Amino acid sequence: MKKTLWLILFISCVTGLMAGRRPDRKLMIEQMVLVNERFMAQHPVAGDSIRINGVRPSNIWTRSVYMEGLLALNEVAPQPRYVEYAMDWAVANLWGFRGGSHTRNADNQCCAQVYIDLYRLHEDAQVLGNTERMLNNVVNSTERGDWSWIDALQMAMPVYAKMGVVKQDIRYFRTMRELYGYTRDCAGQVGLFNTIDGLWWRDADFIPPYKEPNGKSCYWSRGNGWVMAALARTIDEMERAEDLFVGGEKQEIADIKKLLTDDFLAMAFSVKKCQRGDGFWNCSLTDEFHYGGPETTGTALFLYGMAWGMRNGVLSDEVFGEPALKAWNALMHDAVHPDGFLGYVQGTGKEPKDGQPVGYDSKPDFEDFAIGCYLLAGAEMIKFLTQ
C-alpha cells in the first residue's frame, strides 16, 4: 500500500512539473517561424543550386530534410507560401534526383519523401513518375546492400513506405524490409544495430574493435537520430498501410511494423539514458569528453522521435515527457539566436570529430538540414502537447 501511494505521489509530482514547464504553443510557433523566415530570406529562390564545395543541385539530402521540416511547420502553422516554396523547389528540380532515376544512393533519394507529400496535397500523378521509376529500379533488382550507413535509413526508408501506401503495392514494403534487414543485421558482417546497447554504429568502420577514447563503442548522436526519425516516419506509414491490405499481405505489414516498433522502443530507452543534464545530447552518445558539449541536430531528431512516440501511444508520457520537455527547452532557450540563427549545429560528417568545433556561434557547412530537424521536432512537439 505504501509503495502504491508513493508511486501515485511521484507520478503526480512529475505531471505537475511537466505542466508547469509546458512551453506556450504560440511562442513555439513564433520561434519556429523566426528560424524558418531567416532561412527563406537567405534563399528566396527555392530551387537554386547550392554553392558550397562546388555546385550541387538543391535536391540533395540537406535541402530535402529542410523541406520535410517546412511541410511539418505548415501542418501546425499553415501558410500557402510554405507549400508554394516546396513546390517551386520540386518543379525546379523536375521532380527528379541527383544521379537520375537510376540512382540507388539514399542521399539522392531523400527528396522523394517531399515529392510524395506534395503529391498527397495536390494528387497530380505525373509528379511521381521519376520517383516510381527510381524505386522500381531497386524493387526489380536482387541487390539489397544499398544502405551500408545508418543515415541512409532516414534518407530513403520512408520513401518506400510512402510509395507503398500511395500505390497500395506490397512490393515496396518487402523491398524496404530487405534493405533495412541488410543495414540492421548484415552490414559489416554483424549488422549496424547493437541490440545489446540499443544503439547503432554509423557504418562498418565503427564496429568494434573501434572504440571511443574512453573505451566504449562509438555511437554518433546525429546518426542515431536519423535512425530514430526514420523509424517514426516509417511506422507512421505502416499505420496507414494496415487498412490497405488483407490476408497474408496484411500480416506482412504487421510483422514489419512490429520489428520497426520494437527497434524504436529499444532505441528510445537507450537514447534517454544518454541525455545531458541541460537537455541536449553530445555528439558522442557514450563519451561526453570526446568533442563534448551541446549539439542541436541529434537533440532535435531524438526529440522528434520521443514526441512522435508519445503522441502515438508507443512511448509513455510519464517516462519520456520530462526528457522531451528538457530537450525542447534547451533548443528553444539555448540554441536559437535572437535573429533566428541556429546554434550548436554540427556540420556534415559521420562521427563526433567532424564539423568541429561546435558552439553557439559556429556556422556549419550546411545549415538547411539542421533547420529541417529543428522544425520537425518543434512541429511534432506541438502536436503532442496539443492533442
Q: What is the 3-state secondary structure (H, E, C) of 136-172?
A: HHHHCCCCCCCCCECHHHHHHHHHHHHHHHHHCCHHH
Q: Report the alpha-carbon distance of residue 304 to residue 293 in Å, rounded.
A: 20
**119-123, 243-247, 322-326: which range is least confident on average?**
119-123
In this model, does residue 280 exceed pLDDT 90? yes
Q: Which residues lie closer than 8 Å to 25 by C-beta, 6 or more apart?
A: 382, 385, 386
pTM of the complete model:
0.94
In this structure, which topology does domain 36-386 adopt according to CATH? Glycosyltransferase (1.50.10)
For residue 126, count CB atoms less than 10 angstroms from its CB and return exposed for 0-12, middle for 13-18, buried for 19 or more.
exposed
Give the mean model confidence (pLDDT) for residues 17-36.
82
In this prediction, residue 22 has a pLDDT band, given cuts at 50, 70 and 90, of confident
In this prediction, residue 3 has a pLDDT band, given cuts at 50, 70 and 90, of very low
In this model, does residue 1 exceed pLDDT 80? no
In this prediction, residue 126 has a pLDDT band, given cuts at 50, 70 and 90, of confident
In this model, does residue 252 exceed pLDDT 90? yes
For residue 3, count CB atoms less than 10 angstroms from its CB and return exposed for 0-12, middle for 13-18, buried for 19 or more.
exposed
Q: What was the pLDDT predicted at 5?
A: 35
Mean of per-residue pLDDT scores for the chain? 93
Q: Report the alpha-carbon distance of residue 241 to residue 256 in Å, rounded.
A: 11
Q: Report the alpha-carbon distance of residue 75 to residue 387 in Å, rounded.
A: 14
Percentage above 90 pLDDT, the chain: 90
pLDDT in tens, 83-92: 999 999 999 9
Give me the amino acid identity at 323: P
Q: Could you please report the per-residue DSSP string of 260-305?
A: HHHHHHHHHHHHHHT--TTS-B-SBSS-TTSS-S-BHHHHHHHHHH
**4-13, 136-145, 204-213, 291-300: which range is least confident on average?**
4-13
pLDDT in tens, 129-175: 999 999 999 999 999 999 999 999 999 999 999 999 999 999 999 99
CB 285 within 8 A of CB 271: yes
In this model, does residue 180 exceed pLDDT 80? yes
Nearest to 308 by CA among 242, 231, 218, 245: 231
Instruction: Give the residue extent of every domain in the chain.
Output: 36-386
